[in-house]
Amino acid sequence: MLRSMLTLLPIVWLVLALAFLKMPGHKACLVALAIAVVLALTIWKMPAVDCATSALEGFAAALWPIILVIVAAIYTYNLSLRTGAMEVIKRMLAGVSRDKRVIVLLIGWCFGGFLEGMAGFGTAIAIPASMLVVMGMGPVQACLVCMLANAFPTAFGSVGIPTVTLASVTGLDPLPLAFVTVVQMAPFMILVPFLMVIACDGTKALKGMMGLTLAAGVSFVVPQLMVSRFLGPELTVIVGSVVSLIVTLVLARRRSDRAVPEEYDMGSVAQTDIAEEGMPPLIACLPFVSIFVLLLLTSKSVPPVNEFLSAFSSKVQISTAQGAGMTSFNWVNTPGVLIFIAAIIGGCAQKAGGKLMWDTLVATVKQMSKTIVTIMSVLAVAKIMTYSGMISDMADLFVTVAGQFYPFFAPVIAAIGAFVTGSGTNTEVLLGRLQTEAASAIGISQLWLAAANSTGAGIGKVLSPQCIATAAAAVGLTGKDSELLKAVLKWALLLLVLACLVVGVFQNIVPLL
């Protein structure tokens, strides 16, 4: 029991360091890495070579594709800012609505969900949060609403990779698994838009927004139920977010003649120093349109292109630890590369010269340097804890303690896994089989507890140092990770408690679906 409890030390340290000691994320994560190394070498008797190569695998997995896609996303935004495209986009959005609450739903919920479905790996937080800041929202508040929005689409991010991975790990059929996952998450995907509006200014912010907010959530969920039931996980969030965007836009325009309360009016900010003539709107939006087109054309929904580009890949054995698999690198068909291509296409159309593009890239890498250290450290911790057996011992601790009440704690275990790894996909790999084996042991549906792994992972991900570092870097709060953790913690804990209740109370619902 004591040995299993020691597995919590790196996590406890990160919470203490970020939430109470106000330590910068990159420093806290380096200490967490040192703690994980010491525990692995001494208590878990992991060979030093295995420990070193496992950390190296974590570094590699962090650099490609996670850091690559985050840098690409921030670069796209920074370049659009320098060319003046973001000013045009601000004016367009202000034309839809000047109401901060409506803009939060359009950018944070709808557009953020779309980016998660298409790319994932931090883009769904980095790009929308940075856009909200440019429009005049405070950086902490912008990150908070986008992190809340990102929790549950995570299960179907990057064209459904986490759920497809979970199906592969557990041996479950991906179609019913995707459907059960959406059913389990449906109440939360309706609730979260309300929480995002509340995060703007407390419960009073809901006044006059109930109908639009409910429509944004319901129009997100209903298409997901249909797509997951008949097509599978790949397009679930993409279709849901597009439908929600259309519905929210239409309803927002219908209410455009309403007076916007002064405290929510972003019109004056959004239209400052923007000339009526200048860059055409389509050119301004071209980088983001190109992201959509490239990611869609290279996704599994276009098999010939996907299969051709996927051939440009490598598999390398990095970790020498027992049970370690091959590390895969997709050199072309990966979101980071495609987003960079989209940024260059947009930059050329916006008349950005080669020097401006290069200078922007150098500035972006410098801006992201501490975030890169944070993410590399976290992934190294995750690999060491996994291959040493620490993650398995941690999960076994919860199963032993909870017994028949395990379903109430299943999301907590997944949230801890995602907190460590910062990735929904990695959490499915780490803990997916554990959840289905626990389901068999206590006699409930494997689909339900596998879905609970996705539900908990999404909540844990938004608390992870990796996610917080990405958000901080996007809005210029690098080194102030503790501020973001403090802002999102109470909301995430609320969602986690509700998730535990939903999973536990409705554990026998699957046969009725």
For 447-505, what is each residue's pLDDT tens digit?
A: 999 999 999 999 999 998 888 988 888 888 887 888 899 899 999 999 999 999 999 99
Residue with the larger pLDDT of the pair 225 and 122? 225
Q: How far is CA 439 from CA 200, 426, 459, in A?
A: 39, 20, 21
Lowest mean pLDDT, pick from 199-213, 261-275, 310-324: 261-275
Predicted confidence (pLDDT) at residue 177 exceeds the cutoff of 60: yes
* Alpha carbon distance 485, 493 (integer Å): 11
Predicted confidence (pLDDT) at residue 237 exceeds the cutoff of 80: yes
CB 232 within 8 Å of CB 257: no
Binned at pLDDT 50, 70 and 90, residue 342 comes out as very high
Could you tell me the two tokens for 438?
């626990």
Closest-CA residue to 377 (of 33, 130, 147): 33
* Alpha carbon distance 115, 292 (integer Å): 8
* Alpha carbon distance 114, 158 (integer Å): 10
* Alpha carbon distance 271, 134 (integer Å): 11
What pLDDT score was predicted for residue 183? 97
Question: What values do phi and psi take at 480, rounded to 5?
Answer: -115, 40
Closest-CA residue to 82 (of 353, 477, 371): 353
* Alpha carbon distance 397, 401 (integer Å): 6
β-strand pairing of 327-330 with 313-316? antiparallel
Q: Which of 46-55, 315-324, 394-403 has the highest mean pLDDT?
A: 46-55
Please name the residue that has the structure tokens 């994932």: 120
Q: Which long-range contacts (CB under 8 A, 24 or more apart) does 395-401 make?
A: 395/431, 395/434, 396/4, 397/1, 397/4, 397/5, 397/7, 399/434, 399/438, 399/441
329: buried, middle or exposed (CB in 10 Å: 19+, 13-18, 0-12)? middle
What pLDDT score was predicted for residue 126? 86
Predicted confidence (pLDDT) at residue 274 exceeds the cutoff of 50: no
Average pLDDT over residues 37-62: 94
CB-based contacts of 348, cutoff 8 Å, min separation 6: none
CB 179 within 8 Å of CB 167: no
Average pLDDT over residues 33-39: 96
Closest-CA residue to 248 (of 223, 219, 227, 225): 219
- Model-level pTM? 0.77
Residue 435: other Cβ atoms inside 10 A: 29
Q: How far is CA 21 from CA 15, 28, 465, in A?
A: 9, 10, 14
> How is residue 99 annotated by DSSP?
B
Q: Which of 40-44, 130-134, 282-286, 508-512 has the highest mean pLDDT?
A: 40-44
Predicted confidence (pLDDT) at residue 94 exceeds the cutoff of 70: no
Q: How far is CA 451 from CA 106, 163, 183, 233, in A?
A: 27, 9, 9, 12
Q: How far is CA 209 from CA 102, 111, 206, in A?
A: 8, 19, 5
Please name the residue that has the structure tokens 């409506």: 102
The number of C-alpha atoms within 13 Å of 137 and in the hemisphere containing its C-beta is 29
* Alpha carbon distance 338, 341 (integer Å): 5
Cis peptide before 65 (omega within 30 of 0): yes
CB 404 within 8 Å of CB 417: no
Radius of gyration of the chain (CA): 22
Strand locations in 417-474, DSSP E?
A: none
Calculate the CA 90 to chain-centre distance.
24
Residue 405: other Cβ atoms inside 10 A: 11
88: buried, middle or exposed (CB in 10 Å: 19+, 13-18, 0-12)? buried
pLDDT mean across residues, the chain: 88
117-119-125-126 Cα dihedral, nearest 10 degrees: -160
Binned at pLDDT 50, 70 and 90, residue 267 comes out as low
